[in-house]
Amino acid sequence: MQYLNFDKTAVYKKLLEYSKKQVFSFKDKLNAKRVKECVIPMAAGLNYSWAAKAVDDDCIKLLGELAVEQELIAKYNALINGEVINTGENRKVLHHLLRGQQGKPVMEDGKNIGDFYLKELERFCAFASDVNQGKYKGSTGKDFSTVIQIGIGGSDLGPRALYLALENWAEANGKKKLNAKFISNVDPDDASAVIASSDLEKSLFILVSKSGTTQETLANELFVKDKLVKAGLDPSKHMAAVTSETSPLARNSAYLDSFYIDDYIGGRYSSSSAVGGCVLSLAFGPDVFKDFLKGAAEADKLALNEDIFKNAALFDALIGVWESNFLNYPYTAVLPYSQALSRFPAHLQQMDMESNGKRVNRRGEAIDYTTGPVIFGEPGTNGQHSFFQLLHQGTSIVPLQFIGFTESQKSDDVSVDNSVSQTKLNANLAAQIVAFAKGQDSSDKNKEFPGGRPSSLIYGKQLTPAALGSLLAHYENKVMFQGFIWNVNSFDQEGVQLGKILTKKVLSGDFGDDALETYSKLLGV
């Protein structure tokens, strides 16, 4: 297996030449036949539609060659089989193993890592069941009604997005056990507001930090403990930890229990571990979380398919690279037509931008082609009344990723003007795809829509736990494949280090830079 820079592949030049010669005008070709044909089944009943993408057979043929030449499936196999894919940190990358054994058993020091992950899964699921059954109580003997996760970055964005994604579904299906809240920012107003709105006697805190040294999270832990003590409560009866076995939080009597992940689970890929699983199992019960894992595992399996027409994550990745490196679109908007996915774009923003926002290849050599795009998004229909103006009529083209479901989660709806709101929601979604693709001529240039705005659509029946797992894994695998194409290490994040170093300098008072000192003074530090 070979790790080649993207621009050193034979197919790169072919794609470049092809892109200069012609770009498929889907604007004129988007018809019922194309919409019906350009669909790839995904896990848990979802589907990936790429009819409104600027790719024809010739382009797809080249993208297929790219998948072969960059050995994308072989690299994915190497990853799940435990090779050191995270070169910068000399680590395996094993988040897939959290939800199923797709490859060979991954052994280390005679230990089967999959067994370790499974053991932790069962441990935090049992803990959640015990809490839900009232076996744990707060220090004044009351049942817990709220779980509050303290974490930042991957310990916050993914779990929060997934919680919000399933909250209504759980309520509608009698699965809601606890309310969940989240404290992330080191801004004290964040923790203070969450605490002020909570009944501490009934609150269970989950402290999440892999290293056990995250500045924001430790500050918030002490913030919370201070409040618990002042309320006459015993913090050790109100707090569990999710961390690595080597961290100061592990096997620590300050916590009810500690659940473990290891260095092979990156923060932004940790939603399938105790980082996401503990809070989700507490909120909705372990079965819901396990259904989520099943959907993700099914997606992981589909992503092993060499046939790009049967591998939605791979296809999506290839199109993204086509749009980024050859059509020169530097951003992508994620637009779920589902209020439940209101924070899903924020999670994808981290997952994608932190993974592939890189300027060196996996060997640490500078590269001179564009890597990961800027990701942003808000739910539809809200976005339509906001930034869609630029998407339709701006001077730049932004590729779009729509997500939609036939059914709402709560089935609580009202009919107005002969249609229920869910129907209106999806009518808007269909209308937007076609409006972006086909545009509209007009003698009044201000009312003219150029069209040719490419979009994909992931659609399914309902946003269930399994569908959510499928959706999450789709994006994780897409980002992984793109990292392989660009030959970057998608699993480290050296770009966060410099800020940490300079922050320490500021806090120590030993600035070492007069601009840093002056900015600090302006800000009252």
Rule CB under 8 A: which of 54-93 touch a second copy?
A: 88
Select 33 or 310, whichever has its Cβ closest to a second copy.
Answer: 33
Q: Considering only the stretches 61-69, 99-107, 270-278, 370-378, report the one whose residues sit in contact with a second copy under the rule CB under 8 A.
A: 370-378
- 107-108 and 111-112 beta bridge pairing: antiparallel
Of the residues 354, 358, 474, 478, only one is catalytic, namely 354
Six-digit token string for 11: 């197919």
- Minimum distance from residue 49 beta carbon to a second copy (Å): 7
- Minimum distance from residue 426 beta carbon to a second copy (Å): 4
R_g (Cα) of the chain, nearest Å: 24
Q: Draw the binding track, 196-235, toward a second copy (x: CB under 8 A; -: no contact).
A: x------------------xx-xxx-xx--x---------
Annotated active-site residue 96? The verdict is no
Annotated active-site residue 392? The verdict is no
- Minimum distance from residue 137 beta carbon to a second copy (Å): 25
Contact by Cβ (8 Å): 263, 113: no
Question: Which residues ranging from 300 to 329 are in contact with a second copy (CB under 8 A)?
Answer: none
Of the residues 20, 21, 230, 385, only one is catalytic, namely 385
Contact by Cβ (8 Å): 212, 247: yes
- Minimum distance from residue 145 beta carbon to a second copy (Å): 14
What residue type is 253 in one-letter code? Answer: S
- Minimum distance from residue 123 beta carbon to a second copy (Å): 26
Select 97 or 348, whichever has its Cβ closest to a second copy.
Answer: 348
Does 335 bind a second copy (CB under 8 A)? Our answer is no
DSSP string, 245-295: TTSTTTT-TTSS-EEEE-TTS-GGGGGGSHHHHHHHHHHH-HHHHHHHHHH
Residue 369 DSSP code: S
Question: Which residues ranging from 434 to 473 are in contact with a second copy (CB under 8 A)?
Answer: 434-435, 437-440, 444-450, 457, 459, 461
Select 133 or 419, whichever has its Cβ closest to a second copy.
Answer: 419
Give the three-class secondary structure for 190: helix
Residue 86 DSSP code: B
Q: Draw the binding track, 476-505, toward a second copy (x: CB under 8 A; -: no contact).
A: -------------x--xxxxxxxxxxxx-x
- 47-49 and 39-41 beta bridge pairing: antiparallel
Six-digit token string for 110: 């005679």
Task: Note every long-range contact of 55-63, with CB atoms under 8 Å and residues 24 or more positions apart, other chains counting.
Answer: 55/24, 55/26, 55/319, 55/322, 56/24, 58/18, 59/18, 59/24, 59/322, 60/308, 62/11, 62/14, 62/15, 62/18, 63/15, 63/308, 63/318, 63/319, 63/321, 63/322
Question: Which residues ranging from 113 to 152 are in contact with a second copy (CB under 8 A)?
Answer: 152
Does 6 bind a second copy (CB under 8 A)? Our answer is no
- Minimum distance from residue 113 beta carbon to a second copy (Å): 25
Annotated active-site residue 92? The verdict is no
- Minimum distance from residue 186 beta carbon to a second copy (Å): 5
Question: Which residues ranging from 416 to 435 are in contact with a second copy (CB under 8 A)?
Answer: 416-435
Does 190 bind a second copy (CB under 8 A)? Our answer is yes
Of the residues 13, 500, 504, 521, only one is catalytic, namely 500
Does 404 bind a second copy (CB under 8 A)? Our answer is yes
Q: Where are the beta strands (DSSP E) in 277-391?
A: 331-337, 374-376
Binder of a second copy out of 7, 83, 263, 413 (CB under 8 A): 413
SS (H, E, C) 401-455: EEEEECCCCCCCCCEECCEEHHHHHHHHHHHHHHHHHHCECCCCHHHCECCCCCE
Select 293 or 485, whichever has its Cβ closest to a second copy.
Answer: 485
Select 6 or 289, whichever has its Cβ closest to a second copy.
Answer: 6
∠ CA 306-312-314 to the nearest 5 degrees?
55
Contact by Cβ (8 Å): 515, 35: no
Q: Considering only the stretches 12-20, 69-77, 270-278, 333-341, report the one whose residues sit in contact with a second copy under the rule CB under 8 A.
A: 333-341
Give the three-class secondary structure for 182: strand
- Minimum distance from residue 140 beta carbon to a second copy (Å): 23
Binder of a second copy out of 86, 132, 146, 168 (CB under 8 A): 168
Number of residues in the chain = 525
Contact by Cβ (8 Å): 301, 100: yes
Q: Mind telling me the catalytic residues?
A: 354, 385, 500
